[in-house]
Structures are given as structure tokens and as C-alpha cells.
Chains A and B, each alone.
Chain A
């Protein structure tokens, strides 16, 4: 009986994915926690097309099977991503764990996924039928559900090459990866000629999904810092209404309070 497939090219991986019910395996650092006897893995860790970090005119393109160590070692990695990844676990886990696995596990605690959401990155999903590129916030459908089709693989993450340098990132709580009381927040404020041309925020580990509300952040776009100050309290109030902590968790309210404090600190550190 075949109990695994080892792909050595993307085409081979997509063919296996199309014809059998397989579980994609990148670094295994989520899957191996509850190792399943009967699962059929599709090993992606040696697929060259998923292991590059390159740039084109618009994007930095990160292969989904790049490990956290690959991310830290690449000169192309934007600073906000590098900082978040450097706080993930310990070297031995960073040597195995991948950004694709971090995105696809659908966890609201995923630290690199938070950054891809806070930067409105795009995902290139490919199957043997074809491919599509979707904004990452359309990938998450709530409670660990994603838009990934049964025959698709996440192949690349596309990050904007510009507009990400003025960032804010905080991961609060115990360093230990399995600790529960952990909140993370990432944000970008992109100013040009004194005007806010983009504001993007994302909250991790506070709700079922990572929270990214472009509609609320839109309140600040097009404004000067002075004009942003005028709507600041309304902006904070909007988030206060919309962040619904995971129900039933004792620490949920605490985590929401921390989130709101980080959001305010992000604004204030930018003079708003």
C-alpha cells in the first residue's frame, strides 16, 4: 500500500494531489504533534519551485515551503516579516517549520500569517487544473477553515515590495510557543507627503481567525496625521466593538484589552 508521496517537482506534487486523498506535509511541525497512523502524506519539502525567495517588479515572492530559517537568511525579506519570524520558537523548529504550513494550518496564533495579513499579501494557489492568486484575507473562512481546494497547494506568497517599511510589531506574553496567554499585533502606516496612503493592522490570537479589518483601517487613509487625530477615538471605538474574543476562554477579555492597548500605542508612536 502506498502510504506517502515524495514530490521532487511542482508538477509531480500537483499530480499526486489531484489523484489521491493526501495531506500536504511541508515541515511537519504542526502535523507531527498528533501523528496520525493512517494518514497519507504528500511531502513537499523537496519541491524546488516552492523553496525560492525572489522578486519581480511588484512583489517579493516567497515559496510556501521556505522554512523560517530561509526567511531569516534572505536579503529580500521585508523587516516586518523578519522580526516576527525571529521570535518564532527556537532554531530547530525554525529549521523545519515553513510559512506555507503556518498559513495553511489556519491558526489565529500563526505568527508569520499575521504579517502576511497585515501587509495584504496575496497567495498563489495552484492545482493541475490551473492557478489563482487571491488576497490572503479571502483565504480564511473562520474556525480553521480555509479556501484551499482539495486538489490545490499553496505555492507562493506575494508580498508588496514597497510601502512596508514603517511597521509596528509586538508579540506579548510568554516566550513558550504553547503558552496560551499570547497576543500579537502587526501594523503598517505608510505615509507619503504627509498623508496616510495606507494603514493596515492585524490582530493575532484574540479571535477564531486573525483579525484584519480593512474597512476600519480605511478611516485613516487619505488623512494627514492631524486629521487622523480627529477620528482617532472613533477608530479605536470601532475596533473595540468589532473585536470579539474567543468565547469561553478566561483570558479572552485580557487579550482584547492588550490588543486595544497595542493599537493605541501604534497610533501614538506615529504621532496620532
Chain B
């Protein structure tokens, strides 16, 4: 049993302590915005925000998140900052198949929290653990830069 905050609500998981957070989110809580691309920490499709930091949910065992806060795209979607990122991504067509995008958006949020006015290098480092097989990244990098400008004061 693991008690934690999921998108702002206290929940209790009945999964074993050595289960992956990724599997528990998808299978027990039906949080399917968290994608599985590798289960090896390489692709970032499973990214969530754990206690304010971006992590790969496939790399976190349930027992390590007791008492922690987990934000997924389902929770983040309700924020004003999401609306700014959403618009910025759309404005440069930064989304193709969409598989990487929940993780990308959460990575974008973490980049902007750390630095509201990031350089291109900061942005590229911030998404370096998030693979995208469609876009070639340039549009995504551009979108995050636009969000930084448009969302002034929000981060």
C-alpha cells in the first residue's frame, strides 16, 4: 500500500512496493497520458513531475513515492501555464503523432520553472531525455521559447 498525492488528490495504491509508478498510474489509476516507450529511462514518454521535479515514472518504484506528490498531464492540463504551452505548441505545429507530447509538456514546465527566460541550450538540455520520433525537435524548442515569452509572469 502506498499513499501519495496524485494530481492534488490523496490516493492509496494497493500495488506492491516494487511495482513501477508508470504501470500503477496506467493500470490501477487509468492515467493513460503517461506513456510507455521503453521502461529503461531512455525515452521520457513516461515523464511525471514528482515533488516538483521531472522524473521517468518507469524508473520509480512505488515504495519510493510514499507521501510524495505526482503530477501527470491529466492534472497539469487544468493549469493556466498548460494553456500557454498548448497554444505555443499548436502555433508552430510542434505536435505530430503526439506520443511524446505529455512528457514534453511536463519537461517544458520544468524548464520554465527553473528558468522563466531559458536560452535555446537550456531548452535543449531540458528536453534531452524526451525522445520524439516525428518532429525533429526544432518546432518543440521554438514552442517552448514562445511560451516563455507569451506566459510572462506565469513562471
Q: What is A's interface to B at a CB cutoff of 8 Å? A: 3-4, 6, 25, 27-29, 31-33, 35-37, 39, 41, 43, 45-46, 69, 89-93, 95-96, 177-178
Top 3 A-B pairs ranked by shortest CB distance? A90-B129, A4-B17, A95-B53
Q: List 27 A-B contacts (CB under 8 A).
A: A3-B18, A4-B16, A4-B18, A4-B61, A6-B66, A25-B61, A25-B63, A32-B58, A32-B59, A37-B18, A41-B17, A41-B18, A43-B61, A43-B64, A43-B66, A45-B64, A89-B41, A89-B129, A90-B125, A91-B107, A91-B110, A91-B125, A91-B126, A91-B129, A92-B44, A93-B129, A95-B55
Residue of A nearest to B44 (CB): A92
**B-side interface mostly:** mixed
For residue A36, which residues in chain B have a CB less than 8 angstroms away from its CB?
Answer: 18
CA distance A3 to B16 in the complex (A): 7
For residue A91, which residues in chain B have a CB less than 8 angstroms away from its CB?
Answer: 54, 107, 110, 125-126, 128-129
Tell me whether B95 is interfacial, beta carbon within 8 Å.
no
A93 interface neighbour in B41, B50, B63, B66, Cβ under 8 Å: B41
Tell me whether B56 is interfacial, beta carbon within 8 Å.
yes
For residue A95, which residues in chain B have a CB less than 8 angstroms away from its CB?
Answer: 50, 53-55
Q: Are B18 and A35 in touch, CB under 8 angstroms?
A: yes
A92-B64 CB under 8 A given contacts A3-B17, A33-B40, A35-B18: no
A35, A39, A69 pick with most chain B CB within 10 angstroms: A35
A28 interface neighbour in B64, B107, B128, Cβ under 8 Å: B64
Range of interface residues on B (Cβ < 8 Å): 20 to 34
B16, B47, B50, B54 pick with most chain A CB within 10 angstroms: B54
Q: Are B18 and A39 in touch, CB under 8 angstroms?
A: yes
Q: Are A29 and B41 in touch, CB under 8 angstroms?
A: yes
Q: Are A96 and B129 in touch, CB under 8 angstroms?
A: no
B56 interface neighbour in A37, A45, A69, A92, Cβ under 8 Å: A92
CA distance A3 to B61 in the complex (A): 12
Tell me whether B42 is interfacial, beta carbon within 8 Å.
yes
Q: How far is the CB of B40 from chain A (nearest CB, A)?
A: 6
A92 interface neighbour in B17, B20, B40, B55, Cβ under 8 Å: B55
Residue of B nearest to A4 (CB): B17
For residue A29, which residues in chain B have a CB less than 8 angstroms away from its CB?
Answer: 41, 59
CA distance A198 to B142 in the complex (A): 48
**Using an 8 Å CB-CB cutoff, how does the interface string of B53-73 with A read, 1 for contact, 0 for none?**
111101111011011000000
CA distance A93 to B89 in the complex (A): 25
A28-B54 CB under 8 A given contacts A91-B126, A93-B41: no
Q: Are B63 and A4 in touch, CB under 8 angstroms?
A: yes
Q: How far is the CB of B110 from chain A (nearest CB, A)?
A: 7
A32 interface neighbour in B16, B60, B67, Cβ under 8 Å: B60
Q: Are A35 and B47 in touch, CB under 8 angstroms?
A: no
Residue of A nearest to B48 (CB): A92
Residue of A nearest to B65 (CB): A45
A96-B18 CB under 8 A given contacts A6-B66, A90-B44, A91-B125: no
Q: How far is the CB of B114 from chain A (nearest CB, A)?
A: 9
For residue A92, which residues in chain B have a CB less than 8 angstroms away from its CB?
Answer: 41, 44, 47, 54-56, 107, 129
Q: How far is the CB of A227 from chain B (nearest CB, A)?
A: 42
CA distance A89 to B44 in the complex (A): 12
